[in-house]
Copies of this chain bind each other. A is one copy, B any other.
Amino acid sequence: MLDKTQGFFVVAQTPFDETAAVDLESIDTLVDFYIKHGADGFTVLGVSGEAGKLTQDEGLHVAARYIQRAQGRPVVVGVSNPSLAQLTDLSARVMDLGAAGVMIAPAGGIQTDEELHGYFADVFRRNTGIPTVLQDFPFASKVAMSVPSILKLVETRAEIQLIKEEDLPCLNKISRLREGGGRRVAILTGNNAMYLPLELGRGADGPMAGFSYPEMLSEVYRLHRAGKVDEADDVFDLYLPLLRYEAMGFWGVSARKEMMRRRGAIRSATMRMPGPKLSTADLQELDRLSARLQKKLAERGG
């Protein structure tokens, strides 16, 4: 069950080939790469997975391929959609494919707590029983949810088993969610992992984020769980300069894909239009950040 989740869910990319067609074969290598570097589960068709640029059929094919290759690890599929009919239609289909659950952020335009609760009542009237990750990501969804509202949603809807908490700032929000009592759900954190060690200190159950060095997210999580808080910080700080580079919205996603291409995880770093295209200056910055990281890793290793 998702509410017992402890570990690292990787927010997975959607690989495209040079012609911007979905590259299903690269999904296989990418899944293997993620697993090799410590992923305990997958979140596909999220914002940084470029879900918003796929047709419905493409989205289904991507989800199916991830599920197929995941070696039994849970795959959560993002289904947020301004159309409730499309959201519930897609939910049913991916559950049929074997997804562990769906991830939903409230639809744009919701402005009050009353509308928020009405929205999820509508969602679960059709999505009854489907394990759900509630995504609290107001930067992208444009909908804010207060701690009391989230706790009320958790209390009233058993489907909500996990919260992806990526409001900003998020630290005290995590503390308040944990102190809120009631049914315990898992809390994983996003925001490109920029605050991961601190979030773990506040009671988060792990990261749900993407990074071109997923082994860092995995290692920081495991060190922290083992009580090695300083070692966790040391590892995190090594990667922070690159991490913050990849946190620059879709430009960061583009950089992340390029880094993963260099590491052999995917064949092409192509982003589908509309999206950024890395400039020469961007690539040179990645060269430098990458070289500096390698040097620090070598020093640590030695």
Q: Give A contacts to B, CB under 8 Å.
A: 52-56, 58, 82-86, 89, 108, 111-115, 118-119, 122, 125, 138, 143-149, 168-169, 171-172, 175, 194-195, 198, 201-202, 233, 236-237, 240-241, 244-245, 248-249, 251-252, 272-274, 279, 281-282, 285, 288, 292
A149–B146 Cα distance when bound, in Å, is: 14
Closest CB in chain B relative to A207 CB, distance in Å = 16
Closest-by-CB residue of B relative to A174 is B281
B279→A112 contact, CB < 8 A: no
Q: What separation, in Å, do the CA atoms of A37 and B245 have in the docked complex?
A: 27
Which B residues are CB-close (under 8 A) to A112? 113, 144-146, 149
**A237 and B244 contact, CB distance less than 8 A:** no
Q: A171-B285, A248-B168 are in contact. Are A147 and B55 (CB under 8 A)?
A: no
Give the CA-CA distance A108 to B141 in the complex, in Å. Answer: 12
A169 to B53, Cβ gap below 8 A? no
* Residues in B whose Cβ lies below 8 Å from that of A111: 111, 138, 143-144
Residue from B85, B115, B201, B241 in contact with A285 in the complex, judged by beta carbons closer than 8 Å: B201
Q: Rank and list the top 8 A-B pairs by shortest CB-CB distance, nearest first.
A: A111-B144, A169-B248, A114-B146, A112-B146, A169-B251, A113-B113, A55-B85, A55-B89
Q: How far is the CB of A60 from chain B (nearest CB, A)?
A: 12
For A238, give the chain B residue with the smallest CB separation.
B237
Seed contacts A108-B108, A169-B251, A171-B251; 19 additional CB < 8 Å A-B pairs:
A55-B89, A84-B274, A111-B138, A112-B146, A113-B148, A113-B149, A118-B274, A122-B274, A169-B248, A171-B248, A171-B282, A172-B251, A175-B279, A175-B281, A195-B248, A201-B285, A233-B241, A240-B244, A244-B244
Given A113-B149, A118-B274, A144-B112, do A82 and B85 touch, yes or no (CB 8 Å)? no
A111 to chain B, nearest CB (A): 4
Return chain B residues, CB-CB under 8 Å to A89: 55
- A52–B87 Cα distance when bound, in Å, is 11
A172 proximity list for chain B (CB < 8 A): 251, 279, 281-282
CB of A55 within 8 A of CB of B82, answer no
Contacts A/B (CB < 8 Å), 21 sampled: A53-B83, A54-B83, A55-B89, A85-B272, A108-B108, A111-B111, A112-B113, A112-B144, A113-B146, A114-B146, A114-B149, A119-B274, A171-B251, A195-B244, A198-B285, A202-B281, A233-B241, A233-B288, A237-B237, A237-B241, A244-B244
